[in-house]
């Protein structure tokens, strides 16, 4: 991973690079920031820069033996720790048990979300953790000398998932690691970490990706127009993971548009059997938690476009004629009186899905609330309009 491949975060990049050039690399650092801010890619780029044998003042070369190995997440002095689940009783599962799947996922997309990885690995319905066996595994690895580079680097992704026993066992080595050993902890919620772990790390606060950098990255990566990139940037709110999902999803998704149309009709008509049917569909195993969240994000985008249409700022993108016809009528039900509540309900649903809420009940409750908000809009509309059937 090269620093230049990460949108924005220029201040943090310069700070990390400077520590290497000044030979002042802290032995334990905590990269703390919101989802999609590029924390993990920054840690990977930092590790590659430390290992690089032909580094420049601004980035690693990307061509030397060390860089090529890091790009494959296969450098012998690089160790990657992440939450897993117990495969069988009697022993702790460690990251090495899933390193093949993780390596493949990171090569494909360094802006990886843990839930995405767990879903792709077929383990999304189990609670992941970093077990005490992982600590023993790290201690064993660090007892050997470095294979190639001057440094050995341990990246611990989601250290807030480390159980108490594992964290306590890691305390000593994080505080006093072997010479030229660097720990990079990549976290989103420091409140879930042991205070004793926090006190032993140097904190690097990672902010959301700024709008300008995200918009430029989307245009370059997906060949989007400035308007489309700006729309996705505003919706993603500094989260590049969500921005990529929106860019891949596309406005002209026939399946999602049809699904949204049929669901909204059932909600507006307060058709209980149909709403129950949609709740069953959303909760089905083939949908999956990440697909549920992605669809809710699509719905947020549709409501936003409806609001823009209501206030004479058309933004229909590349919709089909049928979708456009529905949307023009649907937009009359979305206005300043209900959009904030609608957005709040969609945000809340996404939040609870991420925390393993029962999806069938959650989507049925959401259907009732959205239907009530759409029907209530008639009371303030200048003219009553029926949703297209």
pLDDT tens across 208-243, in order? 999 999 999 999 998 888 887 887 888 788 999 888
Dihedral angle sign, alpha carbons of residues 356, 358, 361, 367: positive
Distance in angstroms between the alpha carbons of the first and the last residue of the chain: 50
Q: pLDDT value at position 252?
A: 44
**Options 1.20.272, 1.20.120, 1.10.890, 1.10.8; CATH of 250-379:** 1.20.272
pTM over cut 0.75: no
Q: Which CATH superfamily is domain 3-205 in?
A: P-loop containing nucleotide triphosphate hydrolases (3.40.50.300)
Q: pLDDT value at position 327?
A: 77
Backbone angles phi, psi at 187, to 5 degrees: -135, 160
Q: pLDDT value at position 386?
A: 54
Work out the number of other CB atoms within 10 angstroms of the CB of residue 303: 22
Q: pLDDT value at position 382?
A: 45
Per-residue pLDDT of the chain (389 residues; tens, 9 = 90+): 999 999 999 999 999 999 999 999 999 999 999 999 999 999 999 999 999 999 999 999 999 999 999 999 999 999 999 998 877 666 778 889 889 989 999 998 999 888 778 777 766 556 788 988 888 899 888 888 878 768 999 999 999 998 888 888 888 888 888 888 999 999 998 988 888 889 999 999 999 999 999 999 999 998 888 887 887 888 788 999 888 887 876 544 567 788 888 999 999 999 999 999 999 888 875 556 777 887 888 888 888 878 877 666 555 444 556 666 777 888 888 888 889 999 999 989 988 887 778 889 999 999 999 999 998 876 555 444 455 55
- Interior/surface letters 166-178, b for 16+ CB within 10 angstroms, e for the rest: bbebbeebbeebe
- The rounded distance, in Å, linking the Cα atoms of 193 and 187 is 9
Domain limits of the chain? 3-205, 250-379
Q: Do domains 3-205 and 250-379 have the same CATH topology?
A: no
Q: pLDDT value at position 123?
A: 62
Tens digit of pLDDT for each residue in 271-320? 999 999 999 888 875 556 777 887 888 888 888 878 877 666 555 444 55
Q: pLDDT value at position 54?
A: 92
- The rounded distance, in Å, linking the Cα atoms of 59 and 320 is 45
């Amino acid at each position: 991973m090269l620093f230049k491949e990460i949108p924005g975060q220029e201040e943090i990049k310069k700070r990390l690079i400077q520590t290497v050039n000044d030979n002042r690399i802290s032995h334990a650092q905590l990269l703390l920031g919101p989802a999609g801010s590029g924390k993990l890619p920054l840690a990977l780029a930092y590790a590659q820069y430390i290992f690089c044998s032909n580094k420049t003042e601004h980035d690693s070369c990307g061509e030397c033996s060390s860089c090529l190995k890091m790009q494959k997440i296969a450098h012998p002095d690089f160790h990657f720790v992440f939450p897993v689940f117990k495969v069988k009783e009697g022993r702790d599962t460690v990251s090495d048990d899933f390193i093949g799947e993780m390596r493949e996922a990171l090569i494909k997309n360094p802006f990886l979300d843990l839930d995405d990885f767990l879903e792709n690995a077929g383990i999304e319905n189990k609670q992941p953790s970093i077990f005490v066996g992982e600590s023993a595994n790290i201690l064993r690895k660090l007892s050997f000398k470095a294979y190639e580079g001057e440094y050995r680097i341990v990246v611990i992704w989601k250290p807030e998932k480390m159980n108490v026993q594992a964290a306590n066992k890691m305390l000593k080595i994080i505080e006093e690691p072997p010479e030229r050993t660097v720990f990079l902890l990549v976290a989103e919620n420091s409140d879930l970490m042991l205070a004793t772990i926090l006190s032993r790390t140097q904190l690097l606060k990672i902010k959301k990706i700024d709008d300008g950098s995200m918009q430029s990255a989307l245009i370059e990566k997906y060949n989007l127009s400035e308007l489309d990139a700006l729309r996705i940037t505003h919706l993603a709110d500094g989260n590049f993971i969500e921005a990529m999902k929106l860019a891949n999803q596309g406005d002209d998704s026939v399946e999602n548009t049809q699904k949204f149309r049929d669901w909204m009709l059932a909600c507006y008509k307060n058709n209980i059997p149909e709403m129950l049917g949609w709740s069953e569909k959303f909760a089905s195993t083939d949908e999956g938690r990440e697909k549920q969240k992605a669809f809710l994000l699509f719905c947020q985008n549709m409501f936003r476009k409806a609001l823009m249409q209501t206030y004479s700022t058309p933004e229909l993108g590349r919709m089909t004629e049928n979708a456009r016809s529905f949307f023009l009528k649907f937009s009359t039900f979305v206005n300043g009186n209900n959009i904030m509540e609608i957005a709040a309900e969609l945000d809340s649903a996404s939040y609870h899905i991420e925390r393993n809420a029962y999806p069938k009940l959650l989507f049925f409750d959401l259907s009732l609330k959205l239907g009530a908000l759409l029907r209530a809009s008639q009371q303030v509309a200048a003219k009553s309009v029926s949703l297209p059937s």
